[in-house]
Amino acid sequence: MGTVTTLPHFIIFPFMSHGHTIPLLHLATLLRHRFVAVTIFTTPGNAPSIRDYLRDVSISIIELPFPKDVQGIPPGVENTEKLPSMSSFGQFAGATKLMQPLFEQALSALQHPAPTCVISDAFLGWTQESAEKFGIPRYHFFGISVFATTLYQLIGIERPHADTVSLDEPFTFSSFPWLKFTRNDFEPPFGDLEPKGPAVDFMLEQGISFAKSRGMISNSFYKLEPRFIDYFNQHLGPKSWCIGPLCLAKKPKTVALSQDDNKHETWIQWLNNKLADGRPVLYVAFGTQAEVSAEQIQEIAKGLELSKACFLWVTRQNNVLEHLAGLEERVKNRGLIVREWVDQNEVLRHKSIKGFLSHCGWNSVLESICAKVPILALPFMAEQHLNARMVTEEIEVGLRIMPRDGSVRGFVEAEEVEKRVRELMEGEKGERVRKKVKEVGENAEEAMKEGGSSWSTLGLLIDDACAGKL
């Protein structure tokens, strides 16, 4: 008699934030192509956009209600993009723990096929306990570079900053002496000499679940950061499975304006015109989470104006838009401000785009590399300052905008923005990083192709999960 083989069944639970969710949807798509059944857990408020993204893929979605009456979280808010301030992040992340009983109830109902493993965001550490109850392995997804993950762990273990007097005094890590950091490169309070507070307590709690998990899934590829991946796997762990860049899972669209497509007509036509005129364009976007002061936004705008460069600035943040009033009029036809959601991959892959002024969120870094567009780094929060170091000093695919007082968290003046924009778009340094990002982008494509490092690692991860039932 023949045996009936059931498909592996992977449970994916993204954190309720756009930048955390999209890579895991890319991963879900890749798993389906490898004959893995996938069920995604989310909340009712996040489900419609997930369903829309996955409309061409056969993936189950289970909705769990987001906890009500959470202090500091307005009613109806189920995604960090809608928080009144990032100061409410701790209450939001803590509230997800209240979903654990319903998550486990839903897991117990999934029998055909039964779950093989759980892949959940690193911020959902409580899912580790749930996976253990069901005797299945859990992998945590950490949506940042292995570079940043390694350094955040090492600053707590080695404490190389212990003898520094100021936040901007440089120090090095013994294992990576060629790189210099300051305490300001680490998000407060993690660069403090004695870090404490709710954020530290939260990450310590997640760290316990990291250590218990079967492994860490990383949106990266081996050739991008080999020294840090090897170090992490040999000295820190649990094992990092590098299966990215996940943005390459989605076949990029060819950006062209057809007569029957008016959805993005304004910005595509504008870029098409710049391409026809032979005028390179700088793409400007700072994500959805960074809280940038009005004075800083105005200074960036002034710098772009002085640079004489063509630029496309995408933002939906009202507090940013209100400080850009009049900019388009002053720069006439060489600057366009887009106030709607756009597919960043589409923008970056338009042939007119020759640079990306970016906050250095990890998804944006990878998308820029994959589009072979060099980065002009202007970080604001989270691990973005470490990403900026990586982009400009370690892999050398971009240039850095530096604040006036030398502190990485200082105020950036218009003259510095103007200078660096010109350098990236017209100068020799710009040509050098443009050449390097082309090489790194080709390495990314190779990693994701059949037989490439990330393609092979995903196959090994599937095998590991199937063998790893507890």
Local confidence band at 2 (pLDDT 50, 70, 90 cut-offs):
very low
Residue with tokens 């905008």: 401
Q: Which two tokens stand for residue 125?
A: 């550490």
Q: 61: buried, middle or exposed (CB in 10 Å: 19+, 13-18, 0-12)?
A: middle
Local confidence band at 263 (pLDDT 50, 70, 90 cut-offs):
low
Residue 279 and residue 98: Cα distance in Å, rounded? 53
In tens, the pLDDT along 61-95 reads 999 999 999 988 999 999 998 988 888 899 999 99
Query: Would you state the pLDDT for residue 289?
Result: 77
pLDDT at 161 over 90: yes
Q: What angle do CA 17, 461, 55 make, to 5 degrees?
A: 45
Mean pLDDT in residue range 321-326: 78
pLDDT at 191 over 80: yes
Compute, in degrees rounded to 10, the torsion defined by CA atoms 198, 410, 413, 396.
Answer: -90
Local confidence band at 253 (pLDDT 50, 70, 90 cut-offs):
low
Query: Would you state the pLDDT for residue 260?
Result: 43
Mean pLDDT in residue range 235-247: 96
Peptide bond into 195 cis (omega under 30): no
Query: Would you state the pLDDT for residue 324?
Result: 82
In tens, the pLDDT along 336-358 reads 999 888 889 999 999 999 999 99
Region at 260 (left for phi over 0; alpha for psi -120 to 50; beta for the rest): alpha
